[in-house]
């Protein structure tokens, strides 16, 4: 059996990129660590999970729970989990894992290279039948992530999937932030019995548990955080759903991998294709869901 030390040594020898190295992360899991003049970050091979990104001159952008589990077979809480090939509970199998298999799968590094800006681009890949999935992350002054899906070799029929880049953002206090860009978009309110509701015409503000799926939208979102004196801009392509989530008090207490008092520190803006916006992937085609995140 190959030891963790041998795995790390092999990865470092195979992907010799200045500013990139592989090391043992929490729970003995393997992670890639990026440290360049333009940004720092990290991604675990478990789940192809981005757990940190910090552009030079700024505070950390992503939020991680201090109660997160780092264990094989368990999802990591915070950062950017990949939800695939379904979102939420499985439609017909209650025993299937929430949000699919991608966030607990072991991914392999396919490529690592420097970018023209001085950052680092990494591509990880895995197979989740009947799909082959590649996840490319560019750690730079902008965090750019692309989830590319195509039928696995030999697949000759169409298959449906949902996906989401379930990004957790670090905020000063969720009660004092706002999100603009979705004022004119209708949404499913999962806190209120999954009712479809009309556009509010107003910025999103947080006064309780929030779980909304905004429909048929490619809108750019702006996360305004006066406590941090910053605005985070989330733009996307290949995505027609945007999910906004904060668990608030009661739900936080029910989640074993989420600290009871951590909910004010985070908010999720998820780049997705879910529900009526799920993707029907035909043979010999592919689909890419991309998000770009920058700090102003």
Question: Could you list the active site residues?
Answer: 166, 270
Beta bridge partners of 91: none
Distance CA 93, CA 151 (A): 22
Q: What share of the chain is helix, strand, coil (3-state, %, to 5)?
A: 10, 45, 45
Distance CA 252, CA 288 (A): 32
Are 131 and 85 spatial neighbours (Cβ–Cβ below 8 Å)? yes
Are 131 and 150 spatial neighbours (Cβ–Cβ below 8 Å)? yes
DSSP run (H or E) holding 123:
strand 120-128
Beta strands 221-225 and 266-273 are unpaired
């Amino acid at each position: 059996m190959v030891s963790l030390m041998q795995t790390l040594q092999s990865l470092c020898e195979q992907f010799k990129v200045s500013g990139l190295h592989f090391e043992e992360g929490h729970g003995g899991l393997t992670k890639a660590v990026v440290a360049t003049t333009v940004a720092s970050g990290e991604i675990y091979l478990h789940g192809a999970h981005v757990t940190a990104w910090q552009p030079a001159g700024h505070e950390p952008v992503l939020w991680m729970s201090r109660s997160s589990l780092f264990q094989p077979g368990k999802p990591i809480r915070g950062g950017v989990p990949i939800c695939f090939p379904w979102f939420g509970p499985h439609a017909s199998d209650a025993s299937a894992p929430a949000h699919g298999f991608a966030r607990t799968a072991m991914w392999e590094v396919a490529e690592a290279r420097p970018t023209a800006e001085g950052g680092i681009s990494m591509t990880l890949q895995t197979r989740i039948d009947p799909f082959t999935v590649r996840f490319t992350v560019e750690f730079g002054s902008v965090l750019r992530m692309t989830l590319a899906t195509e039928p696995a070799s030999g697949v000759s029929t169409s298959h449906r999937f949902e996906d989401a880049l379930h990004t957790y953002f670090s905020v000063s206090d969720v009660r004092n932030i706002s999100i603009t860009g979705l004022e004119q978009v209708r949404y499913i309110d999962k806190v209120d019995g999954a009712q479809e509701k009309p556009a509010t015409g107003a910025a999103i503000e947080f006064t309780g548990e929030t779980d909304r799926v905004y429909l048929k939208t490619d809108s750019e979102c702006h996360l305004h955080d006066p406590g941090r004196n910053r605005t985070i801009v989330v733009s996307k392509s290949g995505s027609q759903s945007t999910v906004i989530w904060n668990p608030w008090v009661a739900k936080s207490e029910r989640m074993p991998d989420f600290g009871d008092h951590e909910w004010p520190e985070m908010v999720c803006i998820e780049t997705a294709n879910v529900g009526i916006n799920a993707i029907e992937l035909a043979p010999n085609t592919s689909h890419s869901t991309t998000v770009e995140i920058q700090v102003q």
